Amino acid sequence: MLLRAPGSGPIPSGVVDADPEVAASLGFVYGQAGLREEAASILQRLLKLADQRYVSPLYLAIVTTGMRDIDAAIDYLRKAFVSRHPGLVLIRTDPIFDGLREDQRFAELVGRFEPLPRSSVVSRPRE
């Protein structure tokens, strides 16, 4: 799905419903750009959608990270961990979460992921 930047004004109806993950990314960008009202609007729409169907807490964490609301972002990441969202494993390296890396709670959450067992690492034959 292609999400067109709305420019100024409200996000068109149905955009958040159609692709919450993309909407969360847009909310992150708005938050980082200092457009807190627009980011908060996306967050509220995602929360409203979550009342009707499953919306991953990871998406809510993305928006709140962009808004620099560290406490809310950590809370949503913890909820995403409990719900076992598969995309959560990417928080180790995803630059979206760089602003959380110094927070001990984030480090503890990342530490919950066990490292890959050595047997799963593919080694190259010696020449």
Helices (H) then strands (E): counts for the chain? 6, 0
**Per-residue confidence of the chain (127 residues) as pLDDT tens digits?**
444 554 445 566 676 777 899 899 999 999 999 999 999 999 999 999 999 999 999 999 999 999 999 999 999 999 999 988 888 888 888 999 999 999 999 999 988 876 655 554 444 555 5
The radius of gyration of the chain from alpha carbons, rounded to an integer in Å, stands at 17
Q: What number of other Cβ atoms are within 10 A of residue 16's Cβ?
A: 25
Copy the structure tokens of residue 34.
Answer: 């200092």
Strands (E), the chain: none
On whether the CB atoms of residues 18 and 1 are closer than 8 A, the answer is yes
Model-level pTM?
A: 0.79
Give which of 114, 41, 109, 51 is closest to 80, Cα–Cα: 109
